[in-house]
Structure 1
Amino acid sequence: MAQELLATVLVNPALTADQSPHQDIYAVIDLGSNSFHMLMVKVVGGSVQVIGRVKRKVRLAAGLNENLVLSRKAMKRGWECLALFAERLQDIPPQNIRIVGTATLRLAKNVKTFLKEAEAILGQKVTVISGEDEARIIYLGVAHTSNSDTNRLVIDIGGASTEVVIGAGFNPLLLSSLNMGCVTYLERYFADDELSEDNFSRAIAAAEQEVLTIASQYQHTGWQMAVGASGTVQAMQEILVAQGKDEVITLSRLEDIMQQALACGRMEQLTITGLAQERKQVFPSGLAILIALFRCLNITGMTLSGGALREGVLYSMLPQLQHTDVRSRTVNSLMVRYFIDQRHAERVAEMAAELANQLQSRWDLNKFEGHSMLKCSALLHELGLLIEYKNHHHHGAYIINHSDLPGFTRAQQQLVMALVHNHRADISREIIARQTMTSVLLTVRLTRILRLAVILSMRRRHEVLPQVTISSKGEQLVLTMPAGWLEQHPLMRAELEQEVQYQQQAGWELLIK
């Protein structure tokens, strides 16, 4: 079987993996119960750059019978997928490749048959990880791609198991792997393709029984934020955004989505605005499991994580990137990659922080990590200069909007984009108004502070920075300069007078004294 499948894989006999020049390229393959995934990255400027993602629906769990024997048909689907992956792996050093199997391969009694053929196809060892290890690795993947020092709840709904973790920083505190997944529940509760109240009720009740085994311990430990790291959570978020809502998943919103599914009647008629075609088959079962988790754990809101199992495995191969501040690592990588003047960027960030601290007592800038977002925006405000000067604020915003930014939620990424776009010249109220999860008022306040910090630092020298004071009365800002300073710096005076006009056109009052 392996030889037959590999006949289609192009092999260059002149270059073996051991001779590969791709020492900075890494690959992770996740043999999941629903899909097989391959992630390929390159380490660039102290951060990882995704250079390839391949995903195939294999639905391995659907081939697992009541005696936990994996069917030959399901195995063949897996082997055919791995033959496709093998072509991309041939030039990567073997030590830079990791392949892990999850719930279905843990359960299958004839797993050795599958693994023998899989390893022959890939030329690599496959490691089947335990449920607890899977939960731990998922948490590390979340920790390495999102920033949080407080307790967070992480949930990953897979094809045959669901991992639930509470952790802080890079340390998981509670780990659980529950025997429920979107493929196994599809086969068990939606096999008749009916989107009925009875099917949903049975699936939710079964999932609640699983979750209740851990509920009291998790609620006792507690968490400040909840994130989902699975396709099910991504699907829910895409539906919410497509239907004009923000990105926060709540129980009432999930129940509303369930009502939309019930109205469709049957699986082949399932049409919900924002639901991708590839997610439809396992959507009802994943939705039922997520509703049960929200109900039993009293989850008030959930957002989508930027990483999970594959990212956790990946970062375990990159010790130089482990246990560092994720957000700082991302910002530093962008500064290196786009040749930002680091000393000037830090100068602007320090000036912005000084202005923000003076305004903090009247303007609450702590919400949504406002001070941190202001600092990141200041450090990245010249991101677009590598392209050209005139519209560099637009170019910088475009780069931020279309980049992977580990350590930032999508809403935080949008906030930084809005600040960089508006740090100079005309102010786009439209971009500010698009903020979905952060408040428009906070975005306006941070924008005004950043613009002043950029102007006050325009000489690009520490010794000429003015000692200014800033105060607010409602939304009116008063910037007070040292006596005689404006007369001695006519260009700066002209820039500040122009800024008064820019802010006035946006509907904001700024006074310079």
Structure 2
Amino acid sequence: MSIRKAAVIDMGTNTFHLLLVELNGTGFKTIYKEKIPVKIGQGGISQNQIAPDAQKRAFHTLKHFKNLIDGEHIDQVFAFATSAVRNADNGPEFVSQVKEDLGIDIHVISGDEEAQLIYEGINFSGSLNGQVTLMMDIGGGSVEFIIGTSEEVFWKKSFEIGGQRLLDAFHYHDPILPEEIEKLETYCQEKLQPLIEAIQHYKPTGLVGASGTFDTLTDIYYASMLQCKLTGQHAFELPTEDFERIFDMLKSLNREQRLKIPGMIPMRVDMIVVASCLIEFILRYVPVEAMVCSYYSLKEGVVFRLLEKAEL
């Protein structure tokens, strides 16, 4: 059986991920993975720009990733950029510069493509079953929602209301003020009307959150229970009651205090409050006893496609 190697670079608005894998038949083995809080959306996303400092951080990280990829002699490299780059006026210039300087071809994907890859990643993790489920991935620039089952997607949409955008627009005080939460909820109510209508139509009974914020929330939950996540497990349950407890704590603390919460990842400390506000809003429409948190998302969706030998 032929074993081939591949590299996936997921250039999110908040975090850049590198995943180096060996593809073997229907499965894959992770050779190496790394995530770096590049925050490419910081200082510019609300003006549709990639700020100069953010570009420097991006180039530095991509050069580091390229060295690791070359060290493993991998020539199949799949790099994807999402919300921050696709909406930036200087995004095409940035993509060209990366190609010229580093030889990395960046595929700037649409919100629709992003949602589809996230669905494929979530499904690959084994987080879905026969029930109709609402899936969500809270990025720094956009949030993707998908309604479907393990068999098919009924509805999907990307909304440009990610954590960095919500942070810039609503989280001025620390701890966040009740009126800031209220404004954020009113904004979500207005922006997410197509989602609310889709929920009313398809009536999902399950909720799955992918990576990022959901990883951190489950880390905090497991730490509070004095438990560890099992290595090799790709889906974790977070009881809604425990999410509510964690959310109450997050919105009452400032940044310094949040950093001290067991399980908190420093790169998530800023966006986790507004991201949790969004989850709280969604729970009003999909009231579940527990949400499932999928460790797999976009980059694993790409790996799934490579295994399926589909076009990328």
Which TM class, normalised by the smaller chain length?
Answer: 0.7 to 0.9
8 Å CA contact retained: 2:207, 2:288: yes
Q: Is the 8 A contact 2:123 2:150 kept in 1?
A: yes
Change (3 A) 1:245 1:219: farther
Cα drift, residue 66 of structure 1: 4.0
Q: Name the residue aligned to 1:313.
A: 302
State the aligned residue count: 299
The 1:286/1:262 distance shift into structure 2, 3 A limit, reads closer
Q: What is the CA-CA distance between 1:59 and the residue it aligns to?
A: 0.9
Structure 2 residue 41 is the aligned partner of structure 1 residue 48: no
Change beyond 3 A, Cα 1:292–1:32: same
TM-score, normalised by the number of residues in structure 2: 0.86
Q: Which amino acid aligns with 2:269?
A: K
SS at match of 1:53: strand
What is the DSSP-based 3-state SS (H/G/I as helix, E as strand, rest coil) of the residue aligned with 2:41?
A: helix
CA displacement at 1:249 relative to structure 2: 3.3
Supply the distance in 2 between the matched residues of 1:252 and 1:244 (Cα, whole angstroms). 13
The one-character-per-residue Cα deviations of 1:154-207 (angstroms, maximum 9, x if unpaired) are 110000111000122242221011121112212222244333323333333323
Distance 1:156 1:185, change over 3 A: same
Q: Percent identity?
A: 25
Cα distance in 2 for residues equivalent to 1:35 and 1:66: 17
Q: Secondary structure at the match of 1:278?
A: helix
Alignment correspondent of 1:35? 15
The structure where helix makes up a greater share of residues is 1
**Pairing of 1:289-304 with structure 2 (within 5 A):** 289-304=278-293
1:26/1:41 contact within 8 Å kept: yes
Matched, 1:127 2:115: no
Q: Taking CA–CA contacts closer than 8 Å with sequence separation of 6 or more, which of the two structures ends up with the larger relative contact order?
A: 2
Aligned to 2:268: 279
- Kept in 1: contact 2:25–2:307 (CA 8 A): no
* Partner of residue 257, structure 1: 246
CA contact (8 A) 2:10 2:17 kept: yes
What is the CA distance between 1:232 and its match in structure 2?
0.8
Q: 2:91 aligns with which of 102, 107, 111?
A: 111
Letter in 1 for 2:196: A
Matched, 1:269 2:257: yes
- Answer whether contact 2:82 2:109 (CA < 8 A) is retained: yes
Q: State how far apart, in whole Å, the 2-side matches of 1:298 and 1:212 are.
A: 17
**Structure 1 ranges of 4+ moved more than 4 A:** none
Give matches, 1:77-92, under 5 Å: 77-90=57-70, 91-92=72-73
Query: What's the TM-score, normalizing by structure 1?
Result: 0.54
CA distance in 2, matches of 1:321, 1:133: 14
Give the 3 Å change call, closer, same or farther, for CA 29–158 of structure 1 in structure 2: same
| Alpha-carbon distance change, 192 to 224 in structure 1, aligned in 2, over 3 angstroms | closer
Partner SS for 1:302? strand
**How do 1:117-266 residues align onto structure 2 when only pairs under 5 Å count?**
117-146=97-126, 148-244=129-225, 248-264=237-253, 266=254
Structure 2: gaps spanning 5 or more residues: 228-235
RMSD (Å), alpha carbons: 2.5
Largest Rg, 1 or 2:
1
SS of 2:238's equivalent? coil
Q: Which amino acid aligns with 2:248?
A: Q
Q: Cα deviations across residues 371-416 of structure 1 (Å, max 9, x unaligned)?
A: xxxxxxxxxxxxxxxxxxxxxxxxxxxxxxxxxxxxxxxxxxxxxx
